[in-house]
Amino acid sequence: MDYMLNREALATSEVIYDGCQEQPVDLDISLPDYCPDIQRILKCQVYPHITSRGITGDRLELEGNYTVKILYLDSGGMAVHCYESNQSFSAAITLKQSADNAQIFAFTRVEYINCRATSPRRLDIHGSFSACAKVIVQAENEVISNIDGEGVEEQKNTLSLNKMVGASQQQFTVEEVLELGQGKPPADNLIRSDAFAVLQDYTPVANKLMVKGEVCIKFVYSTADNESALEVMEYALPFNEMIDCEGVTENCIFNIQLNVVGIEAQIKNDYSGDQTYFDVQVKVFANAAAYQNTDVTMVTDAYSKEYDLNISSKQKNIDNAVEFTSDTDIHKGSLALEDIQISKIIDIWNEMSTVSADSANGQINYKGKFNVCVLALNPDKKPIYFERLMDFEYARPYQAKADNIKCNASMYVAGISYRITGGGIDLKVELRLSAAVYSQYSLKLITDVAADETKPRAQDKSAALSIYYADAGESLWNIAREYCTSVNAIKLENDLTGDFVENRGMLLIPM
């Protein structure tokens, strides 16, 4: 006996790759003539950025560049200098399947870096970083929403899911010529620069997203008059950018991530030569996804009153996007200086951080670490550098709307303020935290149903009713299957409303 099976599409997001490929850093550098000799290295670090990502067939290709920066003291021991070496890299990763219109979340992670001066003008550098990516594709699965056939009983479930209806990955540039602040001496050399992007607002407009935010930039520079004196300037550059995102509407929920993937800055003079400016170009990568709610009804079980059924099924794990949260936490802590003495802090910043989050006890609980880098002067006015690792925890109220919640967390340090005390440095660190909240489902998806006509079901026709003694909590579906009747018939006969037996006792089963 053949049945008419009505099918419905179930769209799911599937991760087809989540991993890293390590990239070596091996450099033997001779300083150019314009750089002074090295007396002592203060800090050496590698800063990798992924500038392009793409998929051809089943091959993920990541390209980028990395900058090795060395902060060091010259032969006089009083002036900080910076040397940079820029290199490119590429990573090719084989995926487990071809991927069209995939979302690629790519980032880098520094593993280690070792740097030593083999002579006052020569550097030996070894280390590595990882190019990491998560590739997500939209998969269409068919589920059976209804079975038309004589004598067939169905058990159905309706899931409310957020389906991805639009996604975009786009790079844009924020450019500006920045003046020095009032009273600041002219800049001669850039010692350090960093930047991060802040999302302030977004608006869906005709298959596009208008993204509003700002890029926050910090420069540490030396002056022409006194190269041992370092100055700090900070700027906030506003931007409004239109991002293509086909399929978005005002009813969507959005996950928008902005990452700075490159910063270029040059010191320029005006016509008189007395005033200097920073000519800045910041490259920002926007990753946006839009989700819209849809209800999917599926048959989760079935039986026939007349024949045994052959039911084919497959197991499917689904992560359903529920909400995207963002928070700001002011974390207070102290750095113990121990045997380090400082008279002044030149600059204080963060370079690396890790964070995880979970949902429990009505909260989203963040936990992680970040490092604090300090460039300072000792009592002899000589520059020193040190860094410390700090732990943090933060909780925000969250009433989970579903069971089996998981959170994908991210963070960055937006600013650090400080106060030198007798025994150390008191810190206030502004942490920007975000979490993508998902509900996890493990579903048995029925793919086919057919009657086995060689195995008819035996039905007791000797009486109109049977008596069954049920325990509290028993499923009416299982009882109806056993007696070749329907759940609705049992409910009507016994004046029941739920799908489970409430109290232990006798049930009348229509035959």
Q: What is the pLDDT of residues 201-248, one digit of tens each?
A: 999 998 999 999 999 999 999 987 787 889 999 999 999 999 999 889
What is the sign of the dihedral through the CA atoms of 319, 50, 55 and 244?
A: positive
Tokens of 447: 């793919």
Report which of 10, 110, 5 is spatially closest to residue 68, judged by C-alpha positions.
Answer: 110
- Residue 53 confidence (pLDDT) above 70: yes
* In contact, 145 and 6? CB cutoff 8 Å: yes
Strand partners, 199: 213
Q: Read off the tokens for 4.
A: 């008419």
- 212, 174 contact by CB (below 8 A): no
247 in helix, strand or coil?
A: coil
Of 125 and 454, more confident? 125
Beta bridge partners of 456: 307
Q: How far apart are CA 376 and CA 299, in angstroms?
A: 67
Which residues 6+ apart lie within 8 Å of 8 measured at CB?
A: 142, 143, 144, 145, 296, 297, 298
With tokens 């990568």, the residue in question is 285
Class of domain 461-510: alpha beta
Q: In the predicted model, is pLDDT for residue 14 greater than 80?
A: yes
Domain spans of the chain, in order of start = 6-142, 145-305, 331-440, 461-510
Q: Span 418-423, mean pLDDT?
A: 89
Confidence of residue 1 (pLDDT cuts 50, 70, 90): low
Question: In what order do the strands lie in the sheet containing 122-148?
Answer: 4-30, 122-148, 103-119
Query: How much is the pLDDT for 273?
Result: 64
pLDDT digits (tens, 9 = 90+) for 322-369: 999 999 999 999 998 888 899 999 999 999 999 999 998 899 999 999
Contact 140, 9 (CB under 8 A): yes
Phi, psi of 477 (to 5 degrees): -60, -45
Average pLDDT, the chain: 92
Model confidence pLDDT, tens digit, residues 91-116: 999 998 888 878 899 999 999 999 99
**Residue with more model confidence, 265 or 227:** 265
Percentage of residues in the chain having pLDDT higher than 90: 72
Mean pLDDT computed over 178-200: 92
pLDDT in tens, 437-452: 999 988 889 999 999 8
